[in-house]
Structure 1
Amino acid sequence: MPARPTVPTGPTGLGTEAARLLLRRPALPDSAAEAVPELHTCGPLRDDRALGETVNDRLLDWAADVGIYPGRLEEIRAADFGRLVMLCYPDTDDVERLLAPARCTLAAWAMDDHYCDDTTLGAAPHLLGSRLAAAAAAADRLRLPGRYATEFDDAVRDDPVLTAVRSAVEHLATVATPAQVTRARHAMTSLFPGMAQEATWRATSRVPAVWEYLVNRQANSFRPCLAVIDAVGGYQLADDVWSDPRLQHTLTTATLASSLLNDLYSVHREARDTGQDFNLPLSIAAEDNCSLPEAIERGAALHNQLMRHYEAQAATLALAGPPELRRYLVGVSAWCGGNHAWHHGNPRYASSPPTGLSSWAQPPRRRQRTSDEGDPA
């Protein structure tokens, strides 16, 4: 069993471990992304650079093998997903265990880039539905009868994204129980409605209302990353604990907040992109007719509101739940802190602010080969 991370001092006694973690607020690295207001988050529990580099090297070898991001692997290396996983899953230093969420994360990122966002990689809204259906089948190891199984397997081999999805889930199965793999598959495919919703916005050249964007972000979120925390750590939440509506509500709050954090760090790059990206501050600016800096401030306030709500939910659950739930909630808070630290120092998000919002033109179709107050609840 991997060693447990050291939790800072604070309240003591049974059930207070997660509550003590929520008090941790260490300073982040100096290389902050530009123009992002101070955000209310936990800090990472560890920063083992050598471990992150090892995971990143192994992850890039896998990406080359499955064929995603052809000609762009050095860009993926610079994004340093190995460091993200090292920061976000401090419950283990086992490289094979850390590669499980790393591969699943990069496979999901590749789906977003190859299928949804990047036309140079073959993204095309009119193909998205059929591609996502095939991705769901690849994740689920769909069994077709007779020669159709061979044809489906050929289609998976011919599409690097489908190959990556299948390979990532298969690797997860080597470190997780069948129940945890099923949970992870469900979390991964739960991204697909959000991806499809964005495609309709692109097809109609429409900026979504803020409420509509937030609904999308609850689906198209980091939930798959949180679904495997216990599997990576080498333990398992009982099914009735995982399915408890209170825990699911808590996770929805955490994943929405973390996704909005990604929006805040991505906004300047995406505001300049003519590929019609969608982002909370961009929706706020359009709806409220305000400047981008004002929209960023409002988005940051909403993130902070959500994080405080998450902390209150997590502390309540930790005090009443079984030991593995307390450990899992420590992992969720550590994941949120690691995610923030990765965004904060990542060159992907260190771009200069634009002078104004760029136009949102529909991307060309290209076919790939065959206020901090209140309760946000």
Structure 2
Amino acid sequence: MTADRINERLVAWADRIGLYHGRLERVRAADFGSLATLCYPSTDDLDRLTVPARCALAIWAMDDHYCDDPGLGAEPSLLGSRLATAAAVLGKVRLPDRHEGEFDDATRTDPVLVALRSAVTYLGHLTTPTQLDRTRHSLCYLFTALAQEASWRATHHRPRVWEYLVNRQANSFLPCMTVIDAIGGYHLPAHLWADPQVYDTVGIAGLASCVANDIYSVDVEDHGAGEDFNLPRALVEERRCTPKEALVLSAELHNDLMQRFHEQSDALRRRGEPELRSYLDGVRDWCAGSLAWHRSSPRYHPRTSPDRPPTTRTEHGHHT
């Protein structure tokens, strides 16, 4: 099975790099192989699908090692500095020759940085320079949102719903979605990616996927510690509703966003650009695949997890 073979490659890659040291079972259990096969159905090529799976694992590992899990080395006071260095290893930093070696020495001992650099290098073998730059930019955008969350934790700030959703525009799955065309073997031209209508439509889909992630993350986040941020929690605090009501409101928002995505996507398809039609189909498939993966991945369903979250949709009238 392709997903299982990808998972074995990821475990070997993580072991070689040093990610999740002593906890490699978490890599296999998360099943990023299924995430790749579900989200990029335009290909069944094992090598091509392993590329976004590595990228996904590197991003999730950064979240665990830097932001969430003290057992893996997460330290809030170091997050800003670590994220700035992570942005540098993506390939945009230029140093004087005598300092280049120092930078390389300092960054090759951090498994998260090694994973990010390795994943982006593999991605570069499949992409054009503009496609690769698109992904780098979205990753840096993600890093700014993670830094914002760190400031919220440091000041014990509880964001308003609008404020949280602004953060989620950046702290999103957009890096994974930027590679849809590269994995599919075609190129969405730069002028189409930069088109405000296209970017807005993709952003809506990305936000919807993040809302779904929040819904499925509720049961595994430690609300009692007061350190986690998600949409249901923000709704509970702002609207003084029950957690169950907040989940329903979150699911309704997800479905409204997906409805808006489909409407805008249909309008864009009528423009006739074949690459744009293919990419929008890929975004639709990515959202459906991500939702299916969240429903099955042990990362979001520990054995003690209570009833499943409310229903979310990816297509008009179709539940996945």
**TM-score bin (small chain):** over 0.9
Q: What's the CA shift for 1:353?
A: 5.7
In structure 2, what is the Cα distance between the partners aligned to 1:107 and 1:180?
18
Q: What's the CA shift for 1:86?
A: 0.7
Which amino acid in the other structure matches residue 277 of structure 2?
R
Q: How does 1:1-377 map to 2 (within 5 A)?
A: 50-140=1-91, 142-272=93-223, 274=225, 276-351=227-302, 352=304
TM-score (ref. length: structure 1): 0.79
Q: Which structure shows the bigger proportion of residues in helix conformation?
A: 2
In structure 1, what is the Cα distance between the partners aligned to 2:217 and 2:155?
23
Q: What's the CA shift for 1:120?
A: 1.3
Q: What's the CA shift for 1:276?
A: 1.3
2:318 alignment counterpart: none
Equivalent residue pairs, number: 306
Q: What's the CA shift for 1:317?
A: 0.7
**Cα distance per residue 1:304-333 (max 9 Å; x no partner):** 111100111111111213111111111100
The change in CA–CA distance for 1:64 and 1:330 in structure 2 (over 3 A counts) is same
For the aligned residue pairs, the C-alpha RMSD in angstroms reads: 1.5
In structure 2, what is the Cα distance between the partners aligned to 1:53 and 1:353?
24
Q: What's the CA shift for 1:66?
A: 1.4
The change in CA–CA distance for 1:353 and 1:102 in structure 2 (over 3 A counts) is closer
**Cα distance per residue 1:271-329 (max 9 Å; x no partner):** 44637111110111111111111111111111111110011111111121311111111
Q: What's the CA shift for 1:62?
A: 1.0
In structure 2, what is the Cα distance between the partners aligned to 1:273 and 1:325?
45
**Cα distance per residue 1:209-236 (max 9 Å; x no partner):** 1111000001100000110000011110
In structure 2, what is the Cα distance between the partners aligned to 1:202 and 1:343?
26
In structure 2, what is the Cα distance between the partners aligned to 1:181 and 1:348?
28
The change in CA–CA distance for 1:275 and 1:52 in structure 2 (over 3 A counts) is farther
Q: What's the CA shift for 1:348?
A: 2.1
Q: What's the CA shift for 1:156?
A: 1.3
Q: What's the CA shift for 1:146?
A: 2.0
In structure 2, what is the Cα distance between the partners aligned to 1:329 and 1:340?
17
The change in CA–CA distance for 1:76 and 1:273 in structure 2 (over 3 A counts) is farther
* Structure 2 residue matching 1:100: 3-state secondary structure: helix
**Cα distance per residue 1:59-88 (max 9 Å; x no partner):** 111111111111111011101001101100
In structure 1, what is the Cα distance between the partners aligned to 2:69 and 2:222?
15
Which amino acid in the other structure matches residue 108 of structure 2?
R
* Structure 2 residue matching 1:231: 3-state secondary structure: helix
In structure 2, what is the Cα distance between the partners aligned to 1:261 and 1:296?
10
In structure 2, what is the Cα distance between the partners aligned to 1:298 and 1:310?
18
The change in CA–CA distance for 1:154 and 1:273 in structure 2 (over 3 A counts) is farther
Structure 1 segments (4+ residues) deviating >6 Å: none
- Given that 1:271 and 1:282 are in contact with CA atoms closer than 8 Å, whether structure 2 keeps it comes out as no
In structure 2, what is the Cα distance between the partners aligned to 1:311 and 1:331?
12
TM-score (ref. length: structure 2): 0.92
* Structure 1 residue matching 2:41: 3-state secondary structure: coil
In structure 2, what is the Cα distance between the partners aligned to 1:66 and 1:76?
13
Which amino acid in the other structure matches residue 3 of structure 2?
G
The change in CA–CA distance for 1:138 and 1:275 in structure 2 (over 3 A counts) is farther
Q: What's the CA shift for 1:199?
A: 0.2
* Structure 2 residue matching 1:348: 3-state secondary structure: coil
Question: Whose Rg is larger?
Answer: 1
Which amino acid in the other structure matches residue 255 of structure 1?
G
- Given that 2:87 and 2:140 are in contact with CA atoms closer than 8 Å, whether structure 1 keeps it comes out as yes
Which amino acid in the other structure matches residue 63 of structure 2?
D
* Structure 1 residue matching 2:188: 3-state secondary structure: coil
In structure 2, what is the Cα distance between the partners aligned to 1:270 and 1:179?
37
- Given that 2:10 and 2:27 are in contact with CA atoms closer than 8 Å, whether structure 1 keeps it comes out as no
Greater length-normalized contact order (CA 8 Å, ≥ 6 residues apart): 1
* Structure 2 residue matching 1:329: 3-state secondary structure: helix
* Structure 2 residue matching 1:208: 3-state secondary structure: coil
- Given that 2:142 and 2:171 are in contact with CA atoms closer than 8 Å, whether structure 1 keeps it comes out as yes
- Given that 2:135 and 2:179 are in contact with CA atoms closer than 8 Å, whether structure 1 keeps it comes out as yes
- Given that 1:184 and 1:228 are in contact with CA atoms closer than 8 Å, whether structure 2 keeps it comes out as yes
5+ long unaligned stretches in structure 2:
307-312, 314-320
